[in-house]
Chain A
């Protein structure tokens, strides 16, 4: 299975600022996914990031708020822009590299607290 590293692992941010989360994978993967997990809740898909094309965003998530880069097959970034306390969540990067395209492997997540 892929080894996925996320930075930062946690951060405390001031409202109105932006933070970029990095996701590094130890092998080349076609598709990368960004999820959000609000406190005590399930995971919600933010967007799918494919190399060489614009990210595909889910309903309720927009590029201006969550810009994503995918410069190559092993790296992606998610920026949380103009943060508010409601953005306090764990943000998780995941990739598909199993026997089935639905089998996702996850990073440890980046826990953001917005004051």
Chain B
């Protein structure tokens, strides 16, 4: 299999602060990227996506930034809440192979 994360780093933030979760992707040909949120005992849930012809996309309290030059994605969460505590994964879509490949996740821990 591809892109198996070995460890899950943890980002700890205070409630109300902004969170930034980073991700490096591997394939220059990837043309679509997604951030997923996975809560304990559940499957991943779609948060926000971005196409390769964009460098920024905003949702409700979330913003995704794409830097194709260095193959880097980030997810920014504004005013982080306890309900945001979860593991976050970035994923890249390999259009030529029609498959979604996940990067290593980051655990977000929100403290009151």
Bound pair (A, B): yes
B3 at the interface (CB under 8 A from A): yes
Contacts of B43 in A (CB 8 A): 4, 92, 94, 106-109
When the two chains form their complex, are residues B7 and A45 in contact, meaning their CB atoms are under 8 A apart?
A: no
Knowing A98-B46, A100-B93, A102-B32 touch, does A48 contact B1 (C-beta < 8 A)? no
Chain B, interface size: which category? 20 to 34
User: Are B101 and A45 within 8 A (Cβ)?
Assistant: yes
- A12 CA to B34 CA in the complex, in Å? 33
CA–CA, A92 and B99, complex, Å: 15
Total inter-chain residue pairs, C-beta < 8 Å: 81
Query: In the complex, what's the smallest C-beta–C-beta distance from A22 to chain B, in angstroms?
Result: 15
Expressed in whole angstroms, the minimum distance between the Cβ of A2 and any Cβ of chain B is 12
Is the pair B44, A48 in contact by a Cβ cutoff of 8 Å? no
Number of interface residues of A (CB under 8 A): 32
B70 within 8 A of A: no
Interface residues of A in 62-115 (CB under 8 A from B): 92, 94, 98, 100-109
B103 pairs with A42, CB closer than 8 A: yes
Q: How far is the CB of A28 from chain B (nearest CB, A)?
A: 18
Would you call B98 and A48 a contact (CB within 8 A)?
Answer: yes
Rounded to whole angstroms, the CA-CA distance of A107 and B34 in the bound complex is: 17
A52 within 8 A of B: no
Q: How far is the CB of B110 from chain A (nearest CB, A)?
A: 20
Q: A33-B99, A33-B100 are in contact. Are A103 and B1 (CB under 8 A)?
A: no
Q: Which residues of A are in contact with B by a Cβ distance under 8 Å? A: 1, 4, 31, 33, 35-36, 38, 40-46, 48, 58-61, 92, 94, 98, 100-109
